[in-house]
Amino acid sequence: MSIDTTRLKDYFTGLQSRIVAELEAVDGQPFRSDSWQRPEGGGGVSRLIEQGNFFERGGVNFSHVTGTSLPASATAVRPQLAGRAWEAMGVSLVLHPENPYCPTAHMNVRCFVARKDGEDDVWWFGGGMDLTPYYAVEEDVRHFHATCRAALAPFGAGVHAKYKQWCDEYFFLKHRNEPRGVGGVFFDDLNEGGFERCFALTQAVGDAFTTAYLPILAKRRDIPYGERERDFQAYRRGRYVEFNLVWDRGTLFGLQSGGRTESILMSLPPLVKWRYDWRPEAGTPEAELYEKYLPPRDWV
């Protein structure tokens, strides 16, 4: 079976355009558009905003890259594919609002195809979305997870629970022994049930992102904040940086495959702080994040 990636590209580029249009309406400023080419093959379009009216930094990337040999990060679980030509495309976004009462969010949907003359293409999808609040509100976390569950409901009774647990396990800082945020859904190496089912599931996740995230921003964007909240936000953003640079497979793949560094590291927040062995004071809103929201639980 040979995969025609034209449909994939049409969906991913359309998804990028739709999401950016909704985010521009939230912020009130246009996103910059930055097209790039990859010398080894392919390229993409980065859509980003910095120092907007609402988003301190945000980016929605489309990439479509090709190569003659899969990098190590892509063959770690599929060593038999080493040396195959490959094609990868998808949309990846990270949004960092300035207001600490508005959570950071991440979403990614993607497809890989590995090819070898005389053999069927090997393909798989991956993706997900997750939420990283600083001052969490239970109804917001429940809404985010409920939207994820609804998006995956058509694909089987146990799918959401499986991908929710996978997200909890994936977005975990092993060196800190703590989660990055409150989770969402995550899946990778998906090829069960045929190409059409897997593509439809991936679209369902991508299409659900703004429904999961934007209502939270609408409720929290006007909450006043001060230096205390910004300080804690910057400290917790440090965990975001640590995860992306130490554990994230997508970051590793992009760097190992010669991707565009500016687009790969666009996910990092603009202002971050680290402290030595800091602990939140008991009974504070900062402590509540650690005690109530970060430990994985069933939210819906």
Active site residues: 106
Count of residues for the chain? 300
Is residue 58 marked as binding?
no
31, two tokens: 């996103």
User: Do the beta carbons of residue 60 and residue 31 sit within 8 Å?
Assistant: yes
Is residue 108 marked as binding?
yes
Dihedrals phi, psi of 52, to nearest 5 degrees:
-80, -175
**Residue 217 parent element (H or E):** helix 195-220
Is residue 110 marked as binding?
yes
Is residue 145 marked as binding?
yes
Is residue 258 marked as binding?
yes
User: Do the beta carbons of residue 239 and residue 160 sit within 8 Å?
Assistant: no
Is residue 143 marked as binding?
no
Is residue 18 marked as binding?
no
CA-based nearest residue to 299, from 63, 138, 178: 138
- Tell me the C-alpha distance between 279 and 262, whole Å: 33
Is residue 96 marked as binding?
yes
Dihedrals phi, psi of 97, to nearest 5 degrees:
-65, 155
Dihedrals phi, psi of 110, to nearest 5 degrees:
-160, 165
b or e along 32-64 (b: 16 or more beta carbons within 10 Å of the residue's beta carbon)?
eebeeebeebbbbbbbbbeebebbbbbbbbbbb
Is residue 67 marked as binding?
no
b or e along 118-141 (b: 16 or more beta carbons within 10 Å of the residue's beta carbon)?
eeebbbbbbbbbbbbbbbbbeebb
Annotated binding site for substrate: 92, 108-110, 258-260
Annotated binding site for a divalent metal cation: 96, 106, 145, 175
Annotated binding site: 92, 96, 106, 108-110, 145, 175, 258-260
